[in-house]
Amino acid sequence: MQTSYISILLDETGSMSGQEQRVVSGINEYINTLRMKAADKQHNYHVTLNLFDSQRWRKYYRGPLETFPLMERKDYTPGAMTPLYDAIYRTIRNVEKQTDNVKVLIIIDTDGLENASREVGQQQVFNKIKEKESEGWTFVFLGAEMSEFGGAHKAQQKMGLGLKESNSIDFAHGARKKIYHRAACATNSYMDEKSNKSDEAFWERA
């Protein structure tokens, strides 16, 4: 059975304060839904969850889906600013070390724009995303409460990430659990396909 890789990059910056329980519930909904559906379809998922702000980068978990420890409120402590370029680039480089010709899904979850990266810039991140998409990786952008930026797709366009509109979704914090349930259903649909091509219509799957 082929292993598929899912890497979640979760914003833990100060603007997420007050949303702790919703964030935890959303992640747990994703994991629980994946587990139920993966068991039915014999998927073998390797999952990574990384959290970031401008003061730290931390790995919550990396390993098989089956042993992912569900999050608790104490596991999520927002603070500081948003080095999104650095976080995305580091996520990609870390996954590169683990994978070889397998399906990869990168989920980027944030409620704000890049404002604190020090290691890489927009062009490096854009180029890296395009390189990995050409190899079959899929990138999904979850933008929480981004109406002030014109929605999630326009927000990621403004940051120059270059992701497809159908792979970006805007949502209210209160809908996190619902969005992550939908993301899990779309993940399983995507992983069901034998093709290793990048998915350009992720949210149309669920």
All structural domains of the chain with their residue ranges: 3-205
d(C-alpha 27, C-alpha 168), whole Å: 18
Residue pair 8/62 in contact by the 8 Å Cβ criterion: no
pTM confidence score:
0.96
Instruction: Render each residue's pLDDT in the chain as its tens digit; 206 residues.
Output: 678 999 999 999 999 999 999 999 999 999 999 999 777 777 889 999 999 999 999 999 999 999 999 999 999 999 999 999 999 999 999 999 887 768 999 999 999 999 999 999 999 999 999 999 999 999 999 999 999 999 999 999 999 999 999 999 999 999 999 999 999 999 999 998 888 899 999 999 98
* DSSP three-state, residue 171: strand
Residue 21 is predicted with a pLDDT of: 98
Residue 143 is predicted with a pLDDT of: 98
Residue 37 is predicted with a pLDDT of: 79
Residue type, 32: N
Alpha helices in the chain (DSSP H): 20-41, 84-96, 122-134, 152-158, 176-192
Residue 65 is predicted with a pLDDT of: 96
Strand order, beta sheet including 104-110: 57-64, 44-52, 3-11, 104-110, 138-144, 168-171
Query: Rg of the chain over CA atoms, in angstroms?
Result: 15
Strand 44-52 with 57-64, pairing: antiparallel
Tell me which CATH code domain 3-205 carries. Answer: 3.40.50.410
